[in-house]
Amino acid sequence: MLEVRNLTKKFGENIAVNDVSFKVEKGKIFGIVGRNGAGKSTIFRTILNIIKPTKGQILYENRKIDSHILDRIGYLPEEGSLIPTYTVVELCEYYGSLKLMNEDEIKENLLMWLEEFDILEYANKKIKDLSKGNRQKIQFIVSVLHNPDLLILDEPFSGLDPVSSAELKNAILKFKDQNKTIIFSSHIMEQVENLCEEFLMINKGNIVLSGNLKEIVENYELNGTRGHSLNEIFIDKVGKEDE
């Protein structure tokens, strides 16, 4: 289980994340929704020890996250980290070696995921020659290549066409079926509704809503009626983009 307790992160006088707490149970998919700049990526970077929290605790299986636990975490950043001049195979060999995987493990896991996405023919293509959708699939493969227990996905569906989004969704569900824990952020409410059991909504670093997604969607009261889409709830709690 991942547990975030009273997380606060300040950059100077700016409060990026303010007293945020949540738990993600093993084998579950947890969503964080919010507009750009709401604090989603900051939460992920503190979980990954990329930045240190100003206050609060982050625990995985009741332990502070150290280098050993980080090796059990996969991360797909919002800003891609692929090396454009590498081929898919070269890229995965490089990232796999950073996770201390041997050559056979890398090849076996890479082959499995390339077949899952039906892109085996791209194994020796350079990253720069792939479409955005296929680059995102490779980014996902890199994040799960070492078979992590916890997977963090930062805006994984951003900019993808419907076909690529559906393929990525299926891959995420396949990974979950291996009893893996997944946490992802998105501003695409439909994907959150399709994938998540629990979620939190964040605005300007503060939680504005959290809990069981199905129960909230069914019981949320708006304009005197109950039962609304997550997108309608999001607009009611956070406001429209131009507000």
Provide the mean pLDDT of the chain: 92
Does residue 2 fall inside a structural domain? no
Express each pLDDT in 129-175 by its tens digit. 999 889 999 999 999 999 999 999 999 988 888 888 999 999 999 99
Does residue 183 fall inside a structural domain? yes
Does residue 57 fall inside a structural domain? no
Rounded to the nearest angstrom, the gap between the alpha carbon of residue 140 and the centroid of all alpha carbons in its chain is 10
Does residue 153 fall inside a structural domain? yes
pLDDT of residue 224: 87
Question: 100: alpha, beta or left, given left = phi > 0 and alpha = psi -120 to 50?
Answer: left
Task: With 0.85 as the threshold, say if the pTM is over it.
Answer: yes
**CATH number, domain containing residue 85:** 3.40.50.300
Cβ(65)–Cβ(49) below 8 Å: yes
Residue 242 has pLDDT above 60, yes or no: no
| Start-end of H helices in the chain | 40-47, 67-70, 88-98, 103-116, 132-144, 162-176, 189-195, 213-219, 230-238
Cβ(186)–Cβ(157) below 8 Å: yes
pLDDT of residue 80: 74
> Looking at the 3D structure of the chain, how many domains does it have?
1
Does residue 120 fall inside a structural domain? yes
Residue 19 has pLDDT above 90, yes or no: yes
> How deeply is 48 buried, as exposed, middle or buried, from its count of CB atoms within 10 A (0-12, 13-18, 19+)?
middle
Mean pLDDT in residue range 25-49: 93
Does residue 125 fall inside a structural domain? yes
With CA atoms as reference, report the closest residue to 84 among 123, 116, 128, 48: 128
pLDDT of residue 241: 63
Express each pLDDT in 45-79 by its tens digit. 999 999 999 999 999 999 999 888 999 999 999 87
Q: How confident is the model at residue 243 (pLDDT cuts 50, 70, 90)?
A: very low
CA angle 51, 18, 73 (to 5 degrees): 40
Does residue 158 fall inside a structural domain? yes
Residues 6+ apart with CB under 8 A from 29: 172, 176, 182, 183, 184, 195, 196, 197
Express each pLDDT in 182-207 by its tens digit. 999 988 888 899 999 999 999 999 99
**Residue 98 belongs to domain spanning:** 31-41+66-238
Does residue 81 fall inside a structural domain? yes
Residue with tokens 């206050």: 55
